Amino acid sequence: MPRPVTAASLRGRLLALRFLSGWRRRFAAALAGALSALAMPPFGLWPVLALSFPLLVLLIDGCRGDLRARLAAAAGVGWWFGFGYFLASLWWIGAAFLVEADVFGWLLPFAVVAMPAGLALFTALGTAVARALWSRGALRLFALAFGLTCAEWLRGHVLTGFPWNTYGYAFSDSLVLMQGAALVGVWGLTFAAVLLLATPVLLLGPRRTGLAAVGAATLVLAGAAAWGSHRLATTPLATVPGVTLRVMQPDLPQDKKFAYDRRRQILADYLALSARPSPAYPRGLSDVSVLIWPESAFPFIYEREPWAAQDIAAALPENVTLVTGAIRYDQPPPGQRSPFFNAIRVMNARGEVLHSTDKVHLVPFGEYLPLQAELEALGIEQLTRVRGGFSSGSALAPLVIPGLPLAAPLVCYEIIFPGKVVPEGVRPGWLLNLTNDAWFGMTPGPYQHFAQARMRAVEEGLPLVRAANTGISAIVDPVGRIVAWLPLGREGVVDGPLPQPLETVSPTAKLGSLPLLVMLSTALGLALAPLCGCITRKG
């Protein structure tokens, strides 16, 4: 008869994971990373990190030998963990290469595998740093939190940055836990996720220590949830008087969105959809003050098609202002060569352009190529297939819309960069995000994109208005509550008021990186304490 599984035997089996070697060790690390992807939207199963992070700790525990061997082994564990995580959470990026499969389809396997492999280098760096600070007991969790958080921060900044799905977004599906972003930002939530959700590994050590650590972590999470609930309960929805918004989501497939030969029909469809009556606005556009269209709404250069202004003027009531994404053509700025800009444009009811801002943070390989001229000479194009790519705006600037507070204009993935969504100088009254997630179809990508945009609203204490060609279009208040929305893959409009910003600036918006620096400094000090004690005793 098989022996019954007891607590002691289970503990022994789990501790034996430290001694895995070869492909079994690599597979365990990759599996733990892939499991962690379930914590991200649209799944939001953040408790799975309480399984995957402890397994990562055990695998790092098993990195033995001299210092160089330990660091190399820990980096290997981290790379496989990161590769599994990014492969499982970012596979949907490959969908963009199928939009024009005859041109870009051959790149799909390279993109789906190469990108996770590259991003995993940051995880490898984080686990190597953690192993350098490693000690026994609970303090090694501070080393892990320090190493991985620093690595994730670097991932969000190096080579223009890509902070997508950093671990703090595990809490993005919980509105009460998301409120912590107002205190410490998503980087602070990343630190908290690693530190708190790795504590179950301590149950494999001294029982009293393990229970105390898990109990403390549970209390911290419960306290954060209680504070978040109180914050939500004491922050009523306040709206800007006299402002009625309509966000249009056309749900136009990517392979049809830029069909120049259908340009007149596309604009006609936009205008017809925008004019529909709704329960909120039974008179259609007559009840609307600001109409918002998504990124790159026109499959043409607006100034080159005079009929477009005439059609807009014929369709819009005099009281309506149109805000839309559009490709703008102009002289390239110094140091750049492309005359094309990914812009947000404000138009009056006569179709006249009142104000424009240009996208600053362009997507590598999507909107431009590193070494643009050289790669184009080899026949390689960015996904947008604009010859020469796009030029970027000089700096994020407020968008002026008649009758509304100043807006922070953010095109597509500009919204994913913590601390970089508000222009310098005058603080805006809201965040405006125009995007086109049709590149990625019905995959987790658009859900993850929306979750990150929503997190920015909580961090900054500013409402968010989001218009997607398809994706998730929504009006979100400054504490992350969804006022009105339209789900992925649905054609229609989102109607509602413009929420007001919070009266007091959130700690994250006010203090910037200071809370994160305090957390990292504390963790580093605690991780170094045993090493310093050892040095002192030897001295």
Per-residue pLDDT tens digits for 118-156: 999 999 999 999 999 999 899 999 999 999 999 999 999
What is the structure's pLDDT at 378?
55
Q: Give me the mean pLDDT over the 218-228 stretch.
A: 98
**Which of 12-16, 363-367, 447-451 is predicted with the least confidence, judged by mean pLDDT?**
363-367
Of residues 85, 76, 48, the one with CA closest to residue 200: 48
Cα distances (Å, whole numbers) of residue 126 to 75, 114, 141, 157, 202: 8, 19, 13, 15, 21
Whether residue 295 lies in the annotated active site: yes
Q: Where are the alpha helices (DSSP H) in 91-165?
A: 101-104, 108-132, 139-155
Give the structural domain span for 99.
Answer: 7-233+512-538
Q: Is residue 430 part of a domain?
A: yes
Q: Give me the mean pLDDT over the 148-173 stretch.
A: 96
In the block, residue with structure tokens 């259908």: 262
What is the structure's pLDDT at 539?
38
Whether 218 and 112 map to the same domain: the answer is yes
What tokens does 154 get?
């670097």
In the block, residue with structure tokens 């009460």: 176
Whether 418 and 399 map to the same domain: the answer is yes
Of residues 521, 477, 419, the one with CA closest to residue 150: 521
What is the structure's pLDDT at 314?
97
Do the beta carbons of residue 500 and residue 241 sit within 8 Å?
no
| Percentage with pLDDT > 70 across the chain | 93
Q: Is residue 401 part of a domain?
A: yes
The total number of structural domains in the chain stands at 2
Beta-carbon contacts of residue 191 (< 8 Å; ≥ 6 apart): 145, 146, 149, 168, 184, 516, 519, 520, 523
pLDDT in tens, 301-350: 999 999 999 999 999 999 999 999 999 999 988 888 889 999 999 999 99
Q: Is residue 212 part of a domain?
A: yes
In the block, residue with structure tokens 């800009």: 341
Q: Which amino acid is at 17?
A: L
What is the structure's pLDDT at 50?
98
As a whole number of angstroms, the distance between CA 312 and CA 305 comes to 12
Active-site residue (options: 63, 152, 257, 295): 295
Q: Give me the mean pLDDT over the 85-98 stretch.
A: 90
Local confidence band at 439 (pLDDT 50, 70, 90 cut-offs): confident
Whether 111 and 190 map to the same domain: the answer is yes
Whether 216 and 306 map to the same domain: the answer is no
Strand 321-329 to 290-292 pairing: parallel
Local confidence band at 382 (pLDDT 50, 70, 90 cut-offs): low
What is the structure's pLDDT at 373?
63
pTM for the structure as a whole: 0.94
What is the structure's pLDDT at 372?
63
Do the beta carbons of residue 384 and residue 416 sit within 8 Å?
no
Q: Residue by residue, what is the 3-state secondary structure of 200-242?
A: HHHHHCCHHHHHHHHHHHHHHHHHHHHHHHHHHHCCCCCEEEE
Q: Is residue 2 part of a domain?
A: no
Whether residue 359 lies in the annotated active site: yes
3-class secondary structure, 249: strand
What is the structure's pLDDT at 349?
96
The one-character DSSP state at 205 is S
Whether residue 491 lies in the annotated active site: no
As a whole number of angstroms, the distance between CA 150 and CA 141 comes to 14
What is the structure's pLDDT at 365?
78
- Count of positions (residues) in the chain: 539
> Higher model confidence: residue 108 or residue 348?
348
Do the beta carbons of residue 245 and residue 502 sit within 8 Å?
no
Q: Is residue 506 part of a domain?
A: no
Whether 281 and 422 map to the same domain: the answer is yes
Q: Is residue 507 part of a domain?
A: no
Do the beta carbons of residue 504 and residue 461 sit within 8 Å?
yes
Backbone angles phi, psi at 135, to 5 degrees: -145, -170
Whether 217 and 257 map to the same domain: the answer is no
pLDDT in tens, 44-53: 999 999 999 9
pLDDT in tens, 360-381: 999 887 777 776 666 666 566 6
Q: Is residue 1 part of a domain?
A: no
pLDDT mean across residues, the chain? 92
Whether 137 and 264 map to the same domain: the answer is no
Whether 159 and 258 map to the same domain: the answer is no
Q: Dihedral sign, CA of 181, 186, 192, 198?
A: positive
Active-site residue (options: 150, 152, 257, 359): 359
Q: Is residue 314 part of a domain?
A: yes
As a whole number of angstroms, the distance between CA 23 and CA 8 comes to 27
CATH code for the domain of 330? 3.60.110.10
Whether 157 and 295 map to the same domain: the answer is no
What is the structure's pLDDT at 259?
83
Q: Give me the mean pLDDT over the 484-511 stretch.
A: 96
Cβ atoms within 10 Å of 284's Cβ, excluding its own: 16
Classify residue 335 by burial, with Cβ atoms within 10 Å: 0-12, 13-18, 19+.
exposed
Whether 281 and 180 map to the same domain: the answer is no
Whether 215 and 104 map to the same domain: the answer is yes
Q: Decide if pLDDT at 27 tops 70.
A: yes
As a whole number of angstroms, the distance between CA 132 and CA 74 comes to 9
What is the structure's pLDDT at 385?
61
Active-site residue (options: 63, 152, 412, 459): 412
Cβ atoms within 10 Å of 139's Cβ, excluding its own: 17
Q: Give me the mean pLDDT over the 497-504 stretch.
A: 97
Of residues 92, 87, 36, 85, the one with CA closest to residue 445: 92
Local confidence band at 102 (pLDDT 50, 70, 90 cut-offs): low
**Which of 81-85, 335-339, 524-528 is predicted with the least confidence, judged by mean pLDDT?**
335-339
Q: Which amino acid is at 228?
A: G
3-class secondary structure, 245: strand
Whether 346 and 444 map to the same domain: the answer is yes
Q: Give me the mean pLDDT over the 285-293 stretch.
A: 97
Local confidence band at 110 (pLDDT 50, 70, 90 cut-offs): confident
pLDDT in tens, 231-284: 999 999 999 999 999 999 999 887 677 788 899 999 999 999 999 999 999 999
